[in-house]
Structure 1
Amino acid sequence: MATELRTAAVAGSGAQARPVILVGFQAQGNLGLGYLSSTLRRAGYCVELLDIELPPDDIVAAIRRADPILVGFSLIFQFYIRRYGDLIRTLRAHGVDCHFTMGGHYPSLSSRQTLTTVPELDSVVRFEGEITLLEMVAALAEGRDWTGIPGLIHRRGGDIVANAARPLVEDLDSLPYPERSFAPEIVLGHKALPILASRGCARTCSFCSIHTFYRTAPGKVVRTRRPAEVVQEMQLLHRERGITIFLFQDDDFPLFGKKWRAWAHAFVDELHRSGLVGRMIWKISCRADAVDAELFVRMRDAGLYIVYMGLESGTEEGLVTLNKGITVAQNRLAVQTLKQLGIMFEFGFMLLDPSSTFESVHGNVAFLRDIVGDGSAAATFCKMLPYDGTPIKDALEQSGRLKGDVCAPDYDFLDPRLDAFYQALARIVDVTGWIHGHRALTPQLNWAWNELAVIRQLFPRLPDTDAYEAALRNLTRESNDLLFTVVENVATIFATGKGCEPDPQALRRQCDMALSRLLHERNAFMARHQTVLLRALQQAAA
């Protein structure tokens, strides 16, 4: 694979006049586009990245002005396929006639549907696209036929032709570091950027398209970078861009099993050798069954400050439906271990899935009370959605329960009373702004916890930090308890047909009051210590 990259780079060397434009979401740091861009740039091509969230007129104007040889669209979430389609049709209507291609999970797994939904597209780049896109740009630049390039699905007359799938990148360290043209996230003056240590996921959760994406292409499903290469990239970002918070975007950070635990220990060793320990912190996502106390002590002492886990369900039946390959006891143990080690955590959770019953809803709430009833993290949950390319979506379709469309996939519950329950609960939560949205209470609480973790790791010891944490914990505990009570009461109402729904406006007022208290506590704490915090930032930057 490294040879293939070098060969493609030689073929494309010598920058050409017409650039390549890549369009996608940039707000959270799109490393996928970053790797595509840096691979093209290394071969001598000019690349411009555009944020899909820019006004459409601005995107159209930028693309017309650049007169690119190719525009590539990165579609992360299938819900936005029509939004991309509208933009692409507008570009064609304004005379942009270059090659249009699209990549991402949904286009890779539903290529024909993508080309049918957006007929103005010329091709789809399937799976990992660095080499495929590079070869296609080289062919277009040199006026050669590109239609036989592996990894493409494209149009030929009225037909859609699927070329042979290209193997996944075998050696991730053969790729250049990704371009990060987006601004870092700022947490109390400290800069945060995403980074990758691996690609792929060995698990087979039924609701997730990630493992399907990697298993459909030839090649090894999970590949890790060399620990020294990851740390070298961290050193570079720390030195050149002042990054002190690293957000690992691995689908499943390499921890589980003897081989990956050895990788993690080697990574920690490299961090200590680099001199970064004490000057930066990092966050990972992993499964609960990978949380090992001995390993996580070493990781914590090397800067690990927050762990995100996809717990997903608090019932054995739900975990089986979701094919998590884990138990409720393992989920509980992971949370307990992180609490004991003083590592903050965040989690994903599905209150409802296709197998849900009112009994499982109450069981899930009981589990949430168990793990965050103490206010250690803000409660969050959602309904499982059937994404394209997932086994659970296929099963729902076969059973006749799938409904909605690609932008709003949905399903019927086995008990129709649950449909009414979820609609009512979603309405109440949306009205109160509890879980979803930037100004919602749960995200604001979790952001405050994130700030506190950064303060404890990267700033001098502040005398009343424990008191502030106690206040934050109390606010989180009260919010969680109220939310759990609402879910339990609404579930009971729809299960029994008795009782009245809670008043959304009254709950809205309670949420607003809790948010006001949170902001008061947070701002007062920051104001008391602003001199110390600012001095610490200045010293760190010196």
Structure 2
Amino acid sequence: MGAARSQGHRPPESSHRSCTRFMPGPWQEVIMKQLPIMNGAVSPAVRDEILGTKRRPVVLIGFQNQGNLGIGYLASTLRKNGYEVEVIDFEIDPDLILERVKFLDPILVGFSLIFQFYITQFSSLIDKLRDGGIACHFTMGGHFPSLSYEEALAHAPNLDSVVRFEGELTLLELVETLHRDDDWRGLQGIAYRQTDGSIVCNTLRPLIESLDILPLPDREFKPMSILGHDIMPLIASRGCSRKCSFCSIHTFYRAVPGKIVRLRQIKNVADEMRQLYEERDSKIFLFQDDDFPIVGPMWRKWTLSFVDELYRQDLVGKIIFKINCRADVVETELFEILRDAGLYLVYMGLESGSEEGLEVLNKGLSVEQNLNAVNTLKSIGVMFQYGFMLFDPSSTFNSVRENLDFLRTITRDGDLAATFCRMLPYDGTAVKDQLAAEGRLRGDVTNPDYDFLDDRLDGFFREITETLNMVGWIHGVRSLSPKLDWAWHEVAVTQHMFTGVKGFGLYRDRLSAITKSANEMLFDLVEELSFAHEAGRPGKLDAERLDFECHELTNKLLATRNEFVLSNQATMLKVLGVEEVETV
């Protein structure tokens, strides 16, 4: 149901908050919000009195752990038009969700499916709600149901409809139609199953021409935080003009009539940041644009004018922000201007260190451009994160080692954790269609996969994956590489938000040494296995030794990081306006 999030208008927090310790995000246990529920049946009259309305509300269910702007835009659009909306975190206990939905007695429940891997879990929840007596309209939105609506309806037979592509206006019209008790089946942008089992897809609703007609997203989620600062997501644009073969984003926006990329008005973006800064003390912003508007003269002008507006609104020096962009837009002059205005972190999808790999992925980039972008950001002092696919459908043992050489180059100075993944063939991507045509596509919707051209690579990848997953190296927030990545993210925040800390240079040096050790150990492991499998002699890794070394590095990282933070805790808490409370 479109792209969006949630900006609940909570009152500003007190300038003095209590805390005992200053612990890092990915090492904390996540405490999920428990919804208030009422035992026993609740009459409509009692429910209406509690909710303050006789209009049946709308319930939206989706992942909220990192802030779901998609749901936020849907919720704010409905509320602007007079509808009560309750947003429920998908990760809450299903029994609690059922009880809450029973109490609310909504006219519609909407499910926001971000990744196709979760269709089975969403279908299970949908079935549970139906079996529990929830008889209202069920709809679903997101990239996968938009692009593969027939599969979504097949996997979730208790759905009534799918809201395809940008969902704000379609969902609003659907809710209005249900409230009037009219027939909703003719609405634009809807797909549904008829009583005979056949699937109907109505005329697509054009993309929203002006994003500025939308109200600001409601933000009811608890945002991620780093060193006591919330990381607040927002968007400056929607759409992507590129055509990467492994990505469904451009397919999503090209499948519908309308302008593919739309930019918000500059003042509206800065006003939103100003409002969040004043009302919620937000100082770190994450632009979730698929491709921040930089490429080309027109978008470059937009970005420079945006910087001017940040200065005009006196936000420079008070806030910092992260963007996503491609390597070919990174150039010194522009990014120095962005840096001086608050740019502290850049995410780039580098994806491959080989020319053939970049061509297969249809990146429209060269290895030289990737390296130039990395070197430019390092030279001007802007930290970056990256996406990288060590394996893709064209991979050979030589290309894997070429990719390792590229990763060694960009991580050599130790300020960047090594990380990589395997390209997966998502629905709606050109690479999935190509693999299917070649007879190499494997798996299913929840586990898409493919065969390599050289079957020795299948065993190679399997051994790497099983080993690294077992010891906890790359994937999962509690693994070593994500911890290193988070520690460097904290470094980027510290040098902008906590300028009075002591021992910062020494801490960076120690963190760099740990990162170098971890990276080299990982590279050597993968390279050694590549030669073994290529020679037809699969390696027999000493998993216990690797597990020990990984945990030793992890413990060293945690000890080093926590020593630095705790030694500067008083300074950091003072910056945050938080009273330090002694533990008993």
TM-score after normalising by structure 1:
0.96
Distance 1:297 1:461 in 2: 23
1:390 to 420, 426, 429: 429
Is 1:417–2:450 an aligned residue pair?
A: no
- 2:284 aligns with 245
Deviates more, 1:493-502 or 1:37-46: 493-502
2:395 counterpart letter in structure 1 = S
1:215-230 aligned at under 5 Å gives the runs 215-230=254-269
How far has the Cα of 1:170 moved from its partner? 0.8
2:308 to 249, 252, 269: 269
Is 1:307–2:334 an aligned residue pair?
A: no
How far has the Cα of 1:539 moved from its partner? 8.6
Q: Is the 8 A contact 1:255 1:261 kept in 2?
A: yes
2:512 to 459, 473, 482: 473
- 1:500 aligns with 539
Once the two structures are superposed, residues 179-222 of structure 1 have per-residue CA deviations (whole angstroms, 9 ceiling, x without a partner) of 10011222111122101010000000000000000000110000
Is 1:125–2:163 an aligned residue pair?
A: yes
- 1:144 aligns with 182
Once the two structures are superposed, residues 495-514 of structure 1 have per-residue CA deviations (whole angstroms, 9 ceiling, x without a partner) of 01247333122111111111
Deviates more, 1:143-152 or 1:407-416: 143-152
Q: Is the 8 A contact 2:66 2:223 kept in 1?
A: no
Once the two structures are superposed, residues 10-57 of structure 1 have per-residue CA deviations (whole angstroms, 9 ceiling, x without a partner) of xxxx96521000010111100000000000000000000011111111
Q: Is the 8 A contact 1:108 1:127 kept in 2?
A: yes
- 1:255 aligns with 294
Distance 1:16 1:122 in 2: 24
Distance 2:53 2:178 in 1: 13
> Secondary structure, in 3 states, of the residue corresponding to 1:53?
coil
1:134-283 aligned at under 5 Å gives the runs 134-158=172-196, 159-283=198-322
Q: Is the 8 A contact 1:252 1:286 kept in 2?
A: yes
Distance 1:393 1:173 in 2: 35
Distance 1:329 1:15 in 2: 61
Distance 2:194 2:503 in 1: 68
1:392 counterpart letter in structure 2 = V
**Identity within the alignment, %:** 54
Distance 1:344 1:399 in 2: 40
- 2:328 aligns with 289
Distance 2:400 2:236 in 1: 36
Aligned residues: 527
> Secondary structure, in 3 states, of the residue corresponding to 2:162?
strand
1:249 counterpart letter in structure 2 = Q
1:29 counterpart letter in structure 2 = G
Is 1:45–2:83 an aligned residue pair?
A: yes
Q: Is the 8 A contact 1:15 1:44 kept in 2?
A: no
1:31 to 62, 65, 69: 69
Distance 2:396 2:576 in 1: 51
Q: Is the 8 A contact 1:16 1:141 kept in 2?
A: no
- 1:374 aligns with 413
How far has the Cα of 1:463 moved from its partner? 3.7
Q: Is the 8 A contact 2:209 2:258 kept in 1?
A: yes
Q: Is the 8 A contact 1:15 1:45 kept in 2?
A: no
Once the two structures are superposed, residues 324-362 of structure 1 have per-residue CA deviations (whole angstroms, 9 ceiling, x without a partner) of 000000000000000001111100000000000001000
Distance 1:120 1:81 in 2: 13
Q: Is the 8 A contact 1:24 1:75 kept in 2?
A: yes
1:396-407 aligned at under 5 Å gives the runs 396-407=435-446
Q: Is the 8 A contact 2:65 2:223 kept in 1?
A: no
Once the two structures are superposed, residues 152-180 of structure 1 have per-residue CA deviations (whole angstroms, 9 ceiling, x without a partner) of 01123222111110011111011000010
Q: Is the 8 A contact 1:170 1:220 kept in 2?
A: yes
Once the two structures are superposed, residues 295-314 of structure 1 have per-residue CA deviations (whole angstroms, 9 ceiling, x without a partner) of 10011011110101110000
- 2:555 aligns with 516
Higher helix share: 1
Distance 1:225 1:161 in 2: 33
- 2:566 aligns with 527
Q: Is the 8 A contact 1:16 1:45 kept in 2?
A: no
- 2:8 aligns with none
Distance 2:571 2:85 in 1: 42
Distance 1:539 1:513 in 2: 33
How far has the Cα of 1:474 moved from its partner? 1.1
1:241 counterpart letter in structure 2 = R
Distance 1:141 1:15 in 2: 14
Q: Is the 8 A contact 2:397 2:534 kept in 1?
A: yes
Distance 2:239 2:53 in 1: 32
1:336-351 aligned at under 5 Å gives the runs 336-351=375-390
Distance 2:68 2:114 in 1: 9
> Secondary structure, in 3 states, of the residue corresponding to 1:426?
helix
1:214 counterpart letter in structure 2 = Y
Q: Is the 8 A contact 2:500 2:571 kept in 1?
A: no
1:53-72 aligned at under 5 Å gives the runs 53-72=91-110
> Secondary structure, in 3 states, of the residue corresponding to 2:283?
strand
- 2:114 aligns with 76
2:165 counterpart letter in structure 1 = F
> Secondary structure, in 3 states, of the residue corresponding to 1:354?
coil
Is 1:111–2:149 an aligned residue pair?
A: yes
How far has the Cα of 1:63 moved from its partner? 0.9
> Secondary structure, in 3 states, of the residue corresponding to 1:535?
helix
- 1:486 aligns with 525
Q: Which has the higher contact order (CA 8 A, sep 6+)?
A: 2
Q: Is the 8 A contact 2:533 2:539 kept in 1?
A: no
> Secondary structure, in 3 states, of the residue corresponding to 1:254?
coil
Once the two structures are superposed, residues 264-293 of structure 1 have per-residue CA deviations (whole angstroms, 9 ceiling, x without a partner) of 101111111111111111111111111121
Distance 1:70 1:35 in 2: 17
2:291 counterpart letter in structure 1 = D
Tell me, which stretches of 5 or more residues in structure 2 are unaligned?
1-51, 580-584
Q: Is the 8 A contact 1:344 1:453 kept in 2?
A: yes
Distance 1:174 1:499 in 2: 59
Q: Is the 8 A contact 1:21 1:49 kept in 2?
A: yes
- 1:6 aligns with none
- 1:11 aligns with none
1:102 to 117, 129, 140: 140
Q: Is the 8 A contact 1:378 1:445 kept in 2?
A: yes
Once the two structures are superposed, residues 84-114 of structure 1 have per-residue CA deviations (whole angstroms, 9 ceiling, x without a partner) of 1111111111111100000000000001111
> Secondary structure, in 3 states, of the residue corresponding to 2:387?
strand
> Secondary structure, in 3 states, of the residue corresponding to 1:193?
strand
> Secondary structure, in 3 states, of the residue corresponding to 1:351?
strand
Q: Is the 8 A contact 1:19 1:70 kept in 2?
A: yes
- 2:396 aligns with 357
1:426 counterpart letter in structure 2 = T
Q: Is the 8 A contact 1:493 1:501 kept in 2?
A: no
Q: Is the 8 A contact 1:431 1:505 kept in 2?
A: no
How far has the Cα of 1:383 moved from its partner? 0.5
1:93 counterpart letter in structure 2 = D
Q: Is the 8 A contact 2:284 2:320 kept in 1?
A: yes
- 1:456 aligns with 495
TM-score after normalising by structure 2:
0.89
